Amino acid sequence: MNSVHNNLLLQIMFLYMFIQSNLSLPTKQTVILALKTQQISSGSLPKAPNKLSFHHNVSLTVSVAVGTPPQTVTMVLDTGSELSWLHCKKTPNTPSAFDPLHSSSYSSIPCSSPTCTTRTRDFTVPVSCDPKKLCHAILSYADASSAEGNLASDTFRIGNSGLPGTVFGCMDMFSSSNTEEDSKTTGLIGMNRGSLSFVTQMGFPKFSYCISGRDSSGVLLFGDASLPWLRPLNYTPMIQISTPLPYFDRVAYTVQLEGIKVSGKLLSLPKSVFVPDHTGAGQTMVDSGTQFTFLLGPVYTALKNEFMRQTRGVLRVLNDPNFVFQGAMDLCYLVELSRTSLPPLPTVSLVFRGAEMGVSAERLMYRVPGMVRGGDGVHCFTFGNSDLLGIEAYVIGHHHQQNVWMEFDLAKSRVGLAEVRCDLASQRLGVAE
């Protein structure tokens, strides 16, 4: 799921490495990719084709090689989407795009193919046949952007592993509120549990990532993370249902949120508010394609009120009813520009079945870029109201996954969490600069 626009651009570049020691699997070798984040201004965007700027908040991106001979493309890592897609060249000299005409292994998928009729929630509009009898698809996202083009297949390479015949969308039409920035993006890599997702097509039973909020480093790992220094993971089971429901995404990484604590105090809410209703609305999804965390209205209001109560006299509330950051975050504060750090803040803990995720210090606040009120900067609480976005779900964004080892175990249908210094994890794996 792509999240709502803001003016911050962040670039994440992956450097490939291949580990063949005690990280190997019986049938596949583990692939480790180094992660580097770099905050850039819109006026200094790099033009190299293997670098990506992306305006849908802060996004995680991975560089892979596609086609024969290989073309380097950079794709947003999205655990909330199924179908991967690339900007495909329609005219010469198109920047940051994949050129299918220069790949001998590229193949268009006809609309008569069973792949064309594979059901995925990514297709908000049913697939159709174009005039050339090719499979035509339209993808839409929560930020109102969309991509349109044909389904195709080609060879994708991760590390030393090549996967021929990988299905993806070769998109040549786009709609967005920021066309200039979108023209520089290369695509999206879908990582949910659907049959067309990249991780499913690769055949790895699990993958992990660790995002550093300290020194802009991190790591993405495909395969088994048998790392002796990694703390024991606390696992929470993925919630699965057999009956299709209109508002329940059955291929998302859905876990069960059971409560929220503020400085150890559990919010006084019935557990029923965290359980999906008869329509499927109210599931809790772990989504790397969304920056912040969004909660259904009643839970968001309870958290907001308790956080305000515990920070009274510590933080100054921005009393401006006309300002709602990203359309869903209405709790913002004024912080003196002269301050080099925020005052001590209460820890917010998301309580899952079998595991907890603590959110503390700077991860609780986000400085709104370029917004100054007098001598103050504006910092907003990093939890939002999903009701204001029209999303019938709880969404755990990657901002709150910083310095948490996140393992997605598809074989055992569970998500593992462990607090870890992600910059140190990268160094131990030999992928930090």
Active site residues: 78, 287
The conformation of residue 342, written as its DSSP 8-state character, comes to P
CB 315 within 8 A of CB 309: no
Per-residue CA distances from 136 to 105, 140, 248, 336 (Å): 20, 14, 25, 52
Going from the C-alpha of 228 to that of each of 65, 213, 220, 240, 288, the distances in angstroms are 31, 23, 17, 31, 26
DSSP secondary structure of 212-243: -SSSSEEEEEES----TTSPPPEEEEPP--SS
Q: Residue 144: name the closest of 175, 183, 182, 123 by CA.
A: 175
Q: How far apart are CA 148 and CA 132, in angstroms?
A: 15
**Helices H / strands E in the chain, number of each:** 5, 29
3-state secondary structure of 100: helix
C-beta separation of 57 from 85 below 8 A? no
Residue 406, beta-bridge partner list: 209, 417
Which phi-psi region, left, alpha or beta, contains residue 144 (left: φ > 0; alpha: ψ -120 to 50)? left
Q: Which position has the token pair 């930090």?
A: 432
Q: Which residues pair with 373 in a beta bridge?
A: 376
How far CA 57 is from CA of 4, 79, 87, in Å, comes to 7, 15, 19
Run of H or E residues at 135: strand 135-140
Contact status, residue 333 vs residue 364, Cβ threshold 8 Å:
no
